[in-house]
């Protein structure tokens, strides 16, 4: 089941719904009747989300057998990053701290787009995929940083970012910490998965060795029917001891 795709569709749809209910408002222009419109910022956010909604939908359709070309899910992910990059070029028109955090976010989006471009041509290669994951993960952590910078729910001056050069410099430094921290997180994840797979491989190699040992002894004339009886739990105590000896030939009988 494409569980990740269903999660993306669900939460992206919730996000779109929230943008609609918070961004639609009534306006009355001169010479026109009162009508509803959608705020530009909300429209930008919905457009930014649309590429990833389509990409998630494509993944679900592939699972259910729609004959799309190979690698089409990567292509639509690339389109999602491209839409992000284009939207962010003109997302904020005012200057200030809010524009600065979005400018830094745009840099990470472009890096994600470039990594995705390389990954399209080098699918199933470790480093392009790892680079794309790193930048995409940094997008997520940086969005949380934006929330604390732009909408701080506190009056404590230690957590307020004034619109000056010092704040811009520290935001750039913060972004570098995001990148390094996420890279360390991916390294820890890699080591944990590598260790788990090594344990799994050792268990599987032992299993293959045990099966090969049983087959060798069976080939030398041991009654295969008795071994099957032992598997079913119907063997006598003597057969059980013999079978245990066959499973692990290194133990003492």
Residue 252 lies in a domain: no
Residue 154 and residue 44 share a domain: yes
- Kindly state whether residues 169 and 219 are assigned to the same domain: no
State how many domains the chain has: 2
Which of 202, 217, 234 is where one domain is finished? 202
Q: What tens digit of pLDDT does each residue of 204-241 get?
A: 777 777 777 766 666 655 555 555 555 555 544 444 44
Q: Name the residue with higher pLDDT: 147 or 95.
A: 147
Taking only the tens place, the pLDDT of each residue in 76-122 is: 988 999 888 888 877 765 668 888 898 899 999 999 999 989 988 88
Could you please report the per-residue DSSP string of 53-95?
HHHHHHHHHHHTT--PPTTHHHHHHHHHHHHHHHHHTTS--S-
From 182, 202, 222, give the residue that closes a domain.
Answer: 202
Residues 7 and 129 in one domain: yes
Same domain, 103 and 213: no
pLDDT of residue 53: 93
Whether residues 180 and 70 fall in one domain: yes
Residues 65 and 164 in one domain: yes
Residues 166 and 217 in one domain: no
Co-location of 61 and 156 in the same domain: yes
- Cα dihedral 189, 191, 195, 198, rounded to 10, equals 110
pTM over 0.85: no
Are 112 and 174 within one domain?
A: yes
Mark whether 140 and 99 lie in a shared domain: yes
Check whether residue 173 and residue 55 sit in a common domain. yes
Domain that holds residue 84: 3-202
**In this predicted structure, what is the pLDDT of residue 220?**
58
* Distance of alpha carbon 207 from alpha carbon 221, whole angstroms: 22
Average pLDDT of every residue of the chain: 82
Q: Are residues 197 and 139 in the same domain?
A: yes
Examine residue 188 and state whether it is found in any structural domain, yes or no: yes
Q: Is residue 253 part of a domain?
A: no
């Amino acid at each position: 089941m494409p569980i990740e795709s269903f999660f993306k569709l669900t939460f992206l749809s919730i996000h779109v719904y929230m943008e609609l209910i918070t961004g639609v408002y009534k306006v009355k222009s001169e010479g026109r009747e009162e009508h509803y419109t959608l705020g530009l910022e909300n429209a930008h956010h919905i457009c930014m989300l649309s590429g990833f909604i389509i990409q998630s939908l494509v993944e679900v359709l592939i699972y259910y057998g729609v004959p799309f070309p190979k690698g089409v899910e990567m292509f639509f992910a690339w389109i999602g990053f491209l839409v992000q990059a284009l939207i962010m070029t003109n997302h904020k028109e005012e200057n200030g701290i809010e524009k600065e955090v979005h400018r830094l976010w745009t840099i990470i989006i472009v890096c994600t787009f470039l990594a995705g471009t390389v990954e399209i041509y080098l699918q199933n290669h470790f480093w392009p995929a790892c680079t794309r994951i790193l930048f995409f993960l940094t997008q997520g952590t940086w969005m949380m940083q934006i929330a604390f910078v732009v909408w701080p729910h506190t009056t404590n001056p230690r957590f307020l970012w004034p619109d000056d050069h010092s704040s811009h410099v520290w935001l750039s430094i913060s972004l570098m910490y995001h990148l390094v921290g996420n890279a360390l997180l991916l390294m820890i994840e890699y080591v944990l998965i590598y260790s788990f797979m090594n344990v799994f491989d050792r268990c599987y190699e032992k299993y293959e060795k045990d099966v090969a040992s049983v087959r060798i002894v069976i080939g030398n004339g041991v009654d295969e029917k008795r071994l099957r009886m032992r598997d079913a739990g119907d063997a006598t105590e003597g057969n059980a001891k013999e079978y245990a000896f066959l499973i692990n030939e290194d133990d003492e009988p």
